[in-house]
Every structure is written in C-alpha cells, then in structure tokens.
Structure 1
Amino acid sequence: MRMGEGVEWGLHCCLTLAWLEDEAPVPTARLAAWFDLPPAYLTKRLQTLVRSGILNSTPGARGGFRLGRRPEQITLMDVVAAIEGPDDIFRCTEIRQRGAGLDTPAQEFQRPCGIATAMRRAELAWRRELVGQTVADLMAAAPATAADRTRRRYARTTG
C-alpha cells in the first residue's frame, strides 16, 4: 500500500493551520513556500480538504485557508479519506472462483476466503488507528517549541 504525497502535505498543512488558528486565513502561496511545494498542486489538495469540511477557504487577495473544525475534531483518517478517497485498500475480485475454481462446488464460496478476511481485518485495524488520532494529538506530540516557532516564522513572513 502506498498513499500519495498529498496526504503528508494535507496533514502538515492542517497542523500548521492549527498552530496559526488566531491568524488571518493563510494563503496557499505561503503554505507552499513554507514547505517548498508546488502551489498549484497544493491548492488542489487543500481544495479537497475544503470540500470535505476539514478546511475553510476564504477567497480574495486576503484569502486563504483555515481549519474548518477544531483540531480535536479532525482525525488522520478524515484527511486520508478526503485526499485518497474512501474506498477500501484491498479489493477482493474472487479469483478463486475462476480458472481451477470453476470445478469447485458453489458452497465453498459462500464465505469470504481467508485472504479477503485477513486483509479486511488489517485494514480495519489501520483505519481504527487513524480514526483514533487527531490533529490535536499531532500538536501534542510535536516538540514543545514547534507551535511557537511556527507562529514566529509566520509573523516574520507577514510583516
């Protein structure tokens, strides 16, 4: 399994916006420069987060992005699902019923195979872990100076 880099970008932007919650909306250009990311691609990812209610967008010259919910209300799974989509990671196509399986009695296929069951269990565990962690948890786990450093750096670039 491999997630796109947009998940990392989205999570870092959410974390930064959480630390800058008292500031005006943060423009995409500023976030892109902050992380040395291509602005056009970052804008697409941030708009995806807006459509899912994770961020709010303010148009115009003084516009930008803010969190759409409090940090403790945004789970890592919210961001992953918004950027990557809600579909299951593993998709069983029942290949066991093709080829050599054509001669197998139908009752053997009434229950999901062990592979599909194991993959579903693993995915549910992964999703539970991401649902159980929020942007507020990321804030709490960050180095003690990260929030102040972010605010100071932002203040220097807006002056």
Structure 2
Amino acid sequence: MASVKVFLEGEQDTVDLGRRLAQIISPPLTVNLSGELGAGKTTLSRGLIQALGHHGTVKSPTYAIVEPYELENIDLFHFDLYRLSDPEELEYMGIRDYFTDKSVCIVEWPDRGHGLMPIADISITMKYVGTGRDVEITSGTPQGQALLSKFK
C-alpha cells in the first residue's frame, strides 16, 4: 500500500490539505480520519467538504454521529464515531446504506466502529508535533492507491 507524509503548520494548512484531497477524489470513497481530540480531523473535513461544493459551515457530527451533505453528483456523509458506546449502534442507524457507489464517506474515530465499517480507501492519521501536525495518508484499497498516486 502507498503512503504519503505531510507536515501541517497550522489550521490553514489543514484546510488546504482537505482542498487538495478534494481535487483528486471521486465516489465511491471511504476516508478514515484518526488522531487525538483537537488534532484537526474536522478542520481537514471542512476543507474537503467545502472544496467539493458545500457553501456553509461544516460542523463536527459528534452528537448526531452523521452529517449528510448533498453535493453535485456526490452524496457526502461525515461521520464522527467518538461518542459511540458500542459499534452495534451503527447497525441500528443503517450504516451500510450510507456506503453507495455515489457516496464519499469521511469517518472520524473509525476504530469505534470496529467490525462494522468498510475498509477505508485512504486513512489519514494526524499527530501533534509542537504546534503543528504530522500527517500520514495511507491507502487501504487499489482505489486508494490510485488516488495517492495523484497526490502532489
């Protein structure tokens, strides 16, 4: 599997990384975002979602678990599984229905849905380094590998 490493100085770099990813992604795609609280997962998601055409705020779906965005030719679903107490809760909300040929699914805290989430095409791990972030983007599928080969 392919991987790319990036260092982000601050919030604007994090938004810009989301914008860069938006230029090369297409459905169906699953993106996992991992990192400590406050590492920038939602900020990166905001850059990606707005670059794909959403005009408005992008809030963390921590309480709702999923925030849908209907964009041109893409059904985008932003998940935050942080408050999930049991992965089985995902079955009750019909989790499989979100992952379609027309969807891009961004999943924060994917480890909380262990066993019920599909394999991510790309996984992004964000780690604190001083006031910046080390980011590693890895592919988990052939589609993810093709996507990373386009990443500059």
Alignment TM class, shorter chain as reference: under 0.3
- Higher relative CO (Cα under 8 Å, sequence separation at least 6) belongs to 2
Structure showing greater Rg: 1
TM-score by length of 2: 0.28
> 1 or 2, which has the higher helix percentage?
1
> 1 or 2, which has the higher strand percentage?
2
TM-score by length of 1: 0.27
